[in-house]
Structure 1
Amino acid sequence: MTIEDRLQQLIEALDISVLEFARKLGERRGEKIYHILHGRMKPRFDTLQKILMVFPQVNGDWLLRGEGLMFRTLNPSPTAAITTEERLRNMEFLLFQLNERMALLQQTNDQLRDEVAELKERVTTKAG
């Protein structure tokens, strides 16, 4: 999953528009974010840093590398608590990632099985 995909998922999970997301980052218009989302430009370090400062609940490892959950658990307080809806989104995303990994493992397993079958056939052919 690309960083553009993760940003799109984040905006959807925050349930805000791209323009509202951009404005929270200090942008007057949403063009920069739209360009990033459509792959016309990569997010710069300062943009990623702003995202993590403006949305402290966002897991930096997830945003940068796609590792872990979208939202991190913060110290429990009324203003920083992760909502049940955010936790459900995290679980849905985690299940999505697990399904992708399972599919990749299944594909690798199938390839290995085919290679073993070919090797067995070669050994049988050479022995006979």
Structure 2
Amino acid sequence: MINDRIHKLIRVLDMNPTSFSDSLSVSVTVIFNIIKGRRSKPSFDLILKILQAYDKLNAEWLIKGEGSMWNDDIVTSQEIAPTHVNLQARIRELFVRMRLAQPESHEVLELEELVTFLMDESIEQKNKLILLNERQEGMLDVLREKLKLKV
């Protein structure tokens, strides 16, 4: 059901209903009604806002539950995040300020290298989890079909 896919999208984006609604400029009540099942289906306008805000999202997956969640095989968290949420840019800006304040500090450079490595590793792990989750969903769909189970 599309409501479940929207709920899954929010989890994959590592967001909560409030931050997700903010990214779409819609009321948080609308999102809560959808993910809690209080409303049968999201409006066309909401689906359009989701697809515009997250342009890497596969429309067929969102609407019909077919295919993979993302249009590309592997997407980075930076690519799927809405434009106003960019943690990496904020961290880079902080390091620029730290280097200006302490140009001779080897500790700042060392810390920057470590944080950059950890952010890259985090993105890689998140991509792996997204792919594993999609494969698991695909395998469950096949099993449901073979066992003639209804969702």
Task: Please say whether Structure 1 and Structure 2 have the same fold, judged by a TM-score greater than 0.5.
Answer: yes
Hey, which bits of structure 1, 4+ residues long, moved more than 4 A?
Answer: none
AA aligned opposite 2:32 = Y
Unaligned runs of 5+ in 1: 109-128
Find the aligned partners of 2:53 and 2:128 in 1 and give their Cα distance.
19
Q: Specify every segment of 5 or more residues in structure 2 that has no aligned partner in the other structure, as ranges.
A: 81-122
- What letter matches 1:52 in structure 2? L
Aligned positions, number? 104
Structure 2 match to 1:53: 52
For residues 58-99 of structure 1, what are the alpha-carbon distances to aligned partners after superposition, in whole Å with 9 as ceiling and x for unaligned? Answer: 11110000001111218x99x648x53235313322222223
In structure 2, the CA distance between the partners of 1:87 and 1:69, relative to structure 1 (3 Å rule), is: farther
> Under a length normalisation based on structure 1, what TM-score does the superposition of the two structures give?
0.69
Q: Once the two structures are superposed, what CA deviation does each residue of 1:2-45 show, in whole Å capped at 9, x if it has no partner?
A: 11110110000000111000011012x41010001122222000
- Normalised TM-score (structure 2): 0.59
SS in 2 for 1:56: coil
Q: CA RMSD in A?
A: 2.7
Aligned mates of 1:69, 1:87 — CA distance in 2: 14
CA contact (8 A) 1:71 1:86 kept: no
